[in-house]
A and B are shown apart, each in its own frame.
Chain A
Amino acid sequence: MIRTRQGVLSWPSLLVLMLLSGCQAQDNGPGSTPASLDEPFPPARGGQLRNAVGADASNLIPFIGADSASHEIAGYLFNSLLKYDRNLELEGDLAQNWRISPDGLSITFTLRPDLRWADGKPLTSADVKYTFQTIIDPKTHTPYGSDYTLVKSLETPDARTVVVHYKERFAPALSTWAGLSILPAHILKGQDINATPFSRQPVGSSYYRLGNWVPGQRITLKDNPLSTGGRPLISAINYRIMPDPAAQFLELSAGSLDQMSLTPVQYTRVFPAREDLRARYNTYKYLGNNYTYLGFNLKRPPFNDRRVRLAINYAIDKQELIDGVQLGQGLVIAAPFKPGTPWYPRDLQPYPYDPRKARALLAEAGWIDHDGDGVLDRNGRPFHLEIVTNNANESRQLAATLIQRRLKEVGIDVQIRLVEWASFLSQFINTSNFDAVILGWSLSLDPDQYSIWHSSEQGPGKFNFIGYSNPKVDQLLEAGRREMDPQRRAIIYQNFARELHKDAPMVYLFAPYSLVAVHKRVRGIEPAPAGIGYNIEDWYIPRPLQNISIQR
């Protein structure tokens, strides 16, 4: 999923941040002195976590509510058969174990014993079957059914066993079962999933259950004593719906929020300048699952020429982008994978900033400044390039501006066009009507990127909209989907990344860090490759720090 859109008021937000960095708020944090916040206290049950979310959830049935707010809330309520652990490796969630048949065509999941829904009813393989049948039902309004098109049949020989048979070997299968939240058949059977009251009164099996939902204002989650993984230590999570990031930061400054994602400005400028914030909040930084790129329209000359793409790659100073756009909070990458994962080839280096090489490559491709106007030309046509991106994403606009300057230095005239999101998708992306775009991809935890890179995935509404076509890459993507052995699979994707790097169909600009502030009263956080939220059940608020005035 593409990550886009800051809030609707991003420039005022910036203004207030600049102002805030100059003004020191007095520290009367809620109910505790900064000194007690640094004291070690033993873990305790109770307390409530005060969070903010940018929009109201829409539908808490996970595969129908595709918006990020619904996803975040539903993530506390439901379990899948499998899940990713702190090191982003698969482990059992509802499933105690799983077994892949030697031919790679069947997976047998065995559920944990004595699983219960939050209403006390048993959770069985029938629930898994119901969920599967619902997501593949064409009548269900979900975009995610296609993950299961290769499933031939799903059998439930007994209450604890689920056997899935595939038409062909499909290596991302396990990851798709880690992404499918299991719903309670005993409540939903016979109902229209698209219009069920369950979407607002869900019953799940995970650490929390829905408490109170005041539409547009707040959502409260309470701990679920019957939870599959045991009762969480924090008794309640309170989400306040706050669309404006500047307002969220004001609430953080006032001590009324326990947790918030920070912008690079807040992380690198505001926090170091504000003693009161540092006294009350810990900050965390970890590599996110997404990257920003400059993608070319490979069907359009001169971007169908590898030398031109390489030249642009050499002409862009990626570290300058990270420093200028992300204030240093990002990483240069050389492959469309998260660095540190098995599929990211360690030896692969990003193209360095080398304008001389860029000019040489452009000259080799026939682009020379014949008329001396500073812009390269070939056959009498100057080298113009239009970069399109969406208007509500400030970091992409800044990146476009820096790229514009660097490309001008090698003789390429760049125009920037900013377009509203829905228009951007329908007029430029779906019709492949662009020279170059700045966008980002969020990475799934499985390395399969068939829908983005395979040559068959071109056409209106498909995701290979840059028009990439390389038989070798196609073959590797197909092999990667069939290979069930993790080590051999990793090698396939490393080769895929190398082939992409050689071909340079896009310029990987940067992979940004996720930056988070969490109130010091919240303990038990252990940053890991998966971030910080993976062990929410072990977070706790020490008893002396639980009684705070809830919100001012």
Chain B
Amino acid sequence: MLTYLARRLLWMLPILLGITLISFVVMHLAPGDVTSTEASFDPRMSSEARERLREAYDLDKPLLVQYGLWLERIVQLDFGKSFAPDATPVIDKIAQHLPITLLINVLAIALILAIAIPLGLLSAVKARSLFDYISTILVYIGFAIPSFWLALMLMIWLGVEQHWLPITGLTSLDHEQLSFWGRTSDLAEHLILPVLVSAIAGIAGFSRYIRANTLDVLCRDYITTARAKGLPESSVIYRHALRNALLPTITVLGLSIPGLIGGSVIVESLFSIPGMGKLFYDSVLMRDFPVVMGILVIGAALTLAGNLLADLAYAWADPRIRRGIGQ
């Protein structure tokens, strides 16, 4: 097991290096750089000033030299400074945006699991019943609704018309003056809509996934055996079927880790939430290369780590795979 882990970890290094090289090259293939973005298209800006800025950002050097310089910094875990006028260290920028996106996505995943697992399971157990049909229809609607549309409808209904929930932002203007519980409930109120909107498509997809898996497991011989032994149906479902039906979800959860930090541009823009999705999108538009690379590297590292964790969790949960690794 340990050799397996060591081998996997060692493999991750060249993969990560490859990802960074490709990302770096692809990003620099996009025309334009930070000196040719909106704020700089100003008749007061002379071309000499633009050249000076390019020099200051090392953009006048050949691409491979730029990559070398970047790599040299990154092995010392220095992600560099943003090209934006704030010149904030990239790592600080990410640290500022990441917790917000993490919070929303962790809550969204919790909501997805809490609703999708029972829903999928029940649909499978009651396959082809009225409940199954209705939940199928609802799930497909949830899948098909564009999240920006749903968000706007909820904002209009719950925010503008009913005044039940805040429409945008993470906290109220008077947040700092509130008591601890006041602050907590203020934050919770602000999170309801973004978390709900982030979760809707996931609930739909995930519950279908669980339903299919459970149906698959319910046809297996050991379930027939369990039933033949006269075990009560609840025991057959919850003790024998559920665990096996949930196994593949470990993989799905592992794969959702990069999504946890990637954030969503649409939800974050609509709800005015300063998360990673918005940061990434703005950085790409601004050609803020250090920030884009920082997010890509962290994203890639987390994707690889997520895959590894999913494999390990899988091995832990399923003895067959464990044995395979041992060989």
Contact = CB atoms under 8 A, between A and B. Distances in A.
Given A23-B161, A146-B45, A238-B173, A247 B31 contact: no
Interface stretch (A60-68, A123-131, A298-306): A60-68
Provide the main secondary structure of the chain A interface. Answer: loop
A349 interface: no
A5 interface: yes
A241 B85 contact: no
Interface residues of B, number: 62
Nearest to B48: A146
Contact of A146 (B32, B36, B44): B44
Contacts of A552: 159, 163, 166, 172
Contacts of B167: 247, 250-251, 254, 256
Interface string A72-89: 000000000000000000
B111 to A, nearest CB: 22
A545 interface: no
Interface string A424-454: 0111001000000000010010000101100
A9 B49 contact: no
A461 B266 CA distance: 33
A1 B30 contact: no
A23 B45 contact: no
Nearest to A179: B44
B42 A421 contact: no
Contact of B32 (A9, A55, A422): A422
B31 A422 contact: yes
A25 B162 CA distance: 9
A450 B166 CA distance: 49
A9 B155 contact: no
Interface stretch (A210-218, A472-480, A507-515): A210-218
A550 B173 contact: yes
A20 interface: yes
Contact of A423 (B31, B46, B269): B31
B148 interface: yes
Contacts of A379: none
B181 interface: no
B64 interface: no
Interface string B134-171: 00000000000000110010011001110100111111
A216 B43 contact: no
Contacts of A58: 84-86
A460 B281 CA distance: 27
A9 to B, nearest CB: 6
Given A256-B167, A430-B36, A250 B31 contact: no
B87 A144 contact: no
Contacts of B50: 143, 461
B53 A141 contact: yes
A422 B274 contact: no
B160 A2 contact: no
Contacts of A253: 160
A195 B248 CA distance: 49
B271 interface: yes
Contacts of B282: 55
Given A246-B270, A250-B156, A423-B31, A9 B85 contact: no
B203 to A, nearest CB: 22
A9 B86 contact: no
Nearest to B170: A217
Interface string A235-252: 000101111101100110
B167 to A, nearest CB: 5
B278 to A, nearest CB: 7
Nearest to B273: A216
A244 B84 contact: no
B265 interface: yes
A28 interface: yes
Contacts of B286: 422
Contact of B53 (A1, A143, A199): A143
Given A16-B156, A25-B161, A66-B39, A247 B270 contact: yes
Interface of B: 30-33, 36-50, 52-53, 56, 84-87, 96-97, 100, 148-149, 152, 155-156, 159-161, 163, 166-174, 176, 265-266, 269-274, 278, 281-282, 285-287
Given A1-B38, A216-B97, A242-B168, 11 more contacts: A2-B38, A2-B41, A67-B38, A67-B39, A146-B44, A217-B169, A247-B269, A254-B167, A420-B285, A425-B32, A551-B166
Pairs of residues from A and B, 9 with the lowest C-beta to C-beta distance, nearest first: A216-B274, A422-B32, A143-B45, A146-B46, A426-B32, A59-B85, A66-B39, A461-B47, A58-B86
7 contacts: A1-B38, A66-B39, A143-B46, A242-B168, A242-B169, A421-B285, A423-B32
